[in-house]
């Protein structure tokens, strides 16, 4: 009987101790019989192979048959196992280090694509289609760069929309429609906030796009509350509504395709072989644009997508069956290497950490309020519907008050309808108390965190809005490890550069852009941080059986590094050069960055291997971009979804969005006293309703 892959794996792990007889009894042909007929295997030899498989953490050789890993061990072991099976010995990685291909479980391709073709003036360095955009972290520097970029734009076409991304009020000073009018005159301007959860519009663009008081009157109550028409500011629910007017001016087909093509090389250069977008934009035409770039077999990674349940909750607030049916439709939208994941969905609780609109239990030091992306009662309805349908739910959450609402829902769902291996994923994980994290662990939640928050924000937020004590606890990953939670990392690009080694560096060091370490007690070990970009990241999107470790039977997806992460100082982790990747057995040297010149970078913000375009004329401080000389670059950031319900948001106070009490009981309600669901006609009271009501204020 042919040896199974599992038995072969066990043999590969234990072969050195088993002796020559066992070695001669097991061959690569056995595993091939369990995969697919092959005429030749390839054995790659490396200086070190870090497998992320605890059964054999290190190796020097890996055998690949087709797109699968056949065996892992020493070269001598694999040669013995080959017996008479033809194989090719590939020594090109002999001086390099092989790890599982990095799994970037949370990026936004359309938004990242728009970012790299726009004018980026941000608090960290970015590589874009037009070159390298250095960080600006002060008001004077921002206004100078803004003026230079706007002048260059006007010289090209003063009537075209000027789109800039990266502005942050706590670094760059006040922004308003009036200031933009004085700067731009009749040139339409969109200033997209670094958080991508808000924007400022000048009068010219508002007139052109029809953003007037009559249009604002169509907003839900919550969306109107998150709009400052006089200042031209639209944030959270207000921004998600106005984007329906603004999107065509931001995202032309040519710009989208150019930006997406740039991200292909960007992800590849940083060692990513698996990427995912939870809560992607709900638009079949936009998915087709993504597919036109990402679907081809030649693309060096697989990209997955998870439906945006927030949108469906807004479309069908009174009809759970329709909500669930609509959630299934995008699963047919994928093509080739652009694929949708079944049984998973994304929801949202509070606002953005970059905008400081997350919901904080003790408020903000300057007194400004937090915001909700989904009002808690609407979130509760959607969460319980998706829970009962068996979904793995990913939840955007940044503040500790938002965490209370999230955990209350998980606990009620577990008491009402227990589920095991639900993997409810706390996404971003900005602020949480030690007690909340311990509770999340007990409830079976997992964490997908952005450790770059500490790098970019903790130093400044210690002074503004948050204060030093809470800033030190930003992204409390050590607490999550102590609570036994699975931890993965993500960049949420364009919320952070999609550079896995930089995310690992950020979690291990917790060094701020200002220099000091914030929250040393929340640092993670290198072992845990590497898992967070490989096997635990795969676990967070239920792909751990296919990718994430170098284990026989899994896809042969590798990242090839010039140095071992264990052989460099922690401060140098982000600087390890990436040679390239292997995707399903295909060797893929990384393409050079545009211009192949090294950039001077702001300390602690980007990988020092970042490259930038050579200046191609136009005077000091200018770069040649598509369509002419440009003075700076800007970037649109992550939005939860361009296509929204016609009402624009999911406000409990908008009567058009409320489930009618006469519409019948919710399917997930148990119709029993204190365990009844919010809004159900049975009249019971949700045992957690008081907690959620407190967050509603």
| pLDDT per position as a tens digit, 602-636 | 333 333 222 222 222 233 233 333 333 333 433 22
Q: Is 404 exposed, middle or buried (0-12, 13-18, 19+ CB in 10 A)?
A: buried
Name the token pair of 677: 């669901």
CATH value of 1-95+549-576 in 3.30.300.130, 2.30.40.10, 2.40.160.100, 3.40.190.10: 2.30.40.10
* Contact assessment for residue 528 and residue 479, using Cβ atoms and an 8 Å cutoff: no
Is the predicted pLDDT of residue 227 greater than 80, yes or no? yes
- pLDDT, one tens digit per residue, over 523-563 is 999 999 999 999 999 999 999 999 999 999 999 999 999 99
- Sign of torsion, CA 70 75 80 82? positive
Indicate where the chain has its CATH 2.30.40.10 domain(s): 1-95+549-576
Give pTM, 2 decimals.
Answer: 0.81
Cα of 658 vs its chain's centroid, Å: 31
Pairing of strands 41-50, 87-90: parallel
Rounded Cα–Cα distance for residues 263 and 497 (Å): 11
Confidence at 5, pLDDT banded by 50, 70, 90: very low
CATH level 3 topology of 109-253+599-630: Diaminopimelate Epimerase; Chain A, domain 1 (3.10.310)
Rounded Cα–Cα distance for residues 150 and 56 (Å): 56
Q: Which of 648, 666, 665, 667 is nearest to 657 (CA)?
A: 648
Per the model's pLDDT, the better-predicted residue between 487 and 605 turns out to be 487
* String of DSSP letters for 10-24: HHHHHHHHH-HHHHH
> 234 has which bridge partners?
199, 227
- 276-290, 417-431, 458-472: which range is least confident on average? 276-290
């Amino acid at each position: 009987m042919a040896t199974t892959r599992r038995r072969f794996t066990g043999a590969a792990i234990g072969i050195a101790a088993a002796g020559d007889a066992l070695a001669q009894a097991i061959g690569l042909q056995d595993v091939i019989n369990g995969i697919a007929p092959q005429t030749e295997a390839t054995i790659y030899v490396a200086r070190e192979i870090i497998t992320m498989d605890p059964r054999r953490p290190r190796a020097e050789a890996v055998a690949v048959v087709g797109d699968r890993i056949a065996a892992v061990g020493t070269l001598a072991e694999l040669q013995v196992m080959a017996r008479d099976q033809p194989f090719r010995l590939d020594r090109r990685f002999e001086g390099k280090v092989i790890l599982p291909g990095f799994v970037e479980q949370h990026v936004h391709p359309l938004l990242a694509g728009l970012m790299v073709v726009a004018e980026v003036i941000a608090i960290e360095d970015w590589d874009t289609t037009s070159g390298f955009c250095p960080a600006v972290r002060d008001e004077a520097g921002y206004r100078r760069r803004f003026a230079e970029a706007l002048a260059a734009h006007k010289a090209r076409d003063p009537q075209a929309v000027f789109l800039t991304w990266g502005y942050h009020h706590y670094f760059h000073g006040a922004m308003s429609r009036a200031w933009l009018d004085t700067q731009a005159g009749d040139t339409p301007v969109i200033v997209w906030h670094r958080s991508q959860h808000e924007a400022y519009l000048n009068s010219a663009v508002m007139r052109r796009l029809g953003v007037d008081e009559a249009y604002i009157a169509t907003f839900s109550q919550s969306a109107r509350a998150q709009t400052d028409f006089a200042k031209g500011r639209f944030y959270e629910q207000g921004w998600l509504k106005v984007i329906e007017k603004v999107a065509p001016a931001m995202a032309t087909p040519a710009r989208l395709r150019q930006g997406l093509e740039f991200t292909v090389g960007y992800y590849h250069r940083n060692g990513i072989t698996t990427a995912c977008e939870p809560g992607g934009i709900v638009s079949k035409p936009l998915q087709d644009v993504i597919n036109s770039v990402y679907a081809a077999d030649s693309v060096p990674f697989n990209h997955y997508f998870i439906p945006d349940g927030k949108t469906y909750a807004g479309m069908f607030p009174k009809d759970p069956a329709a909500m669930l049916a609509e959630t299934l439709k995008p699963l047919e939208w994928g093509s080739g290497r652009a694929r949708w994941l079944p049984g998973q969905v994304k929801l949202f609780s509070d606002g953005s950490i970059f905008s400081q609109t997350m919901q904080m239990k003790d408020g903000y030091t300057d007194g400004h309020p937090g915001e909700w992306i989904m009002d808690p009662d609407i979130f509760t309805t959607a969460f319980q519907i998706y829970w009962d349908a068996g979904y793995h739910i990913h939840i955007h959450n940044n503040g500790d008050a938002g965490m209370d609402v999230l955990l209350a829902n998980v606990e009620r769902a577990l008491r009402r309808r227990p589920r095991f291996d639900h993997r409810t994923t706390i996404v971003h994980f900005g602020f949480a108390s030690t007690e909340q994290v311990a509770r999340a662990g007990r409830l079976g939640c997992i964490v997908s965190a952005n450790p770059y928050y500490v790098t970019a924000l903790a130093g400044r937020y210690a002074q503004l809005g948050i204060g030093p004590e809470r800033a030190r606890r930003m992204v409390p990953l050590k607490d999550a490890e102590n609570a036994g939670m699975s931890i993965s990392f993500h960049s949420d690009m364009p919320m952070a550069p999609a550079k896995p080694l930089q995310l690992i560096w950020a979690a291990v060091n917790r060094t701020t852009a200002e220099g000091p370490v914030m929250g040393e007690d929340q640092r993670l070990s290198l072992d845990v941080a590497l898992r967070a970009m490989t096997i635990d990241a795969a676990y967070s999107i239920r792909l751990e059986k296919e990718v994430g470790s170098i284990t026989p039977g899994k896809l042969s997806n590798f990242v090839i590094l010039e140095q071992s992460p264990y052989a460099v100082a922690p401060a140098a982790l982000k600087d390890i050069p990436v040679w390239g990747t292997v995707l399903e057995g295909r060797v893929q040297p990384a393409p050079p960055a545009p211009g192949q010149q090294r950039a001077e970078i702001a300390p602690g913000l980007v990988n020092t291997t970042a490259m930038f375009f050579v200046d191609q004329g136009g005077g000091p401080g200018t770069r040649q971009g598509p369509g002419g000389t440009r003075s700076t670059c800007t970037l649109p950031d992550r939005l939860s979804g361009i296509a929204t319900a016609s009402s624009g948001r999911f406000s409990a106070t908008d009567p058009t969005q409320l489930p009618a009490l006469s519409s019948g009981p919710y399917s997930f309600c148990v119709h029993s006293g204190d365990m009844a669901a919010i809004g159900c006609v049975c009249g019971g009271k949700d045992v957690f309703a008081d907690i959620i009501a407190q967050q509603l204020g």
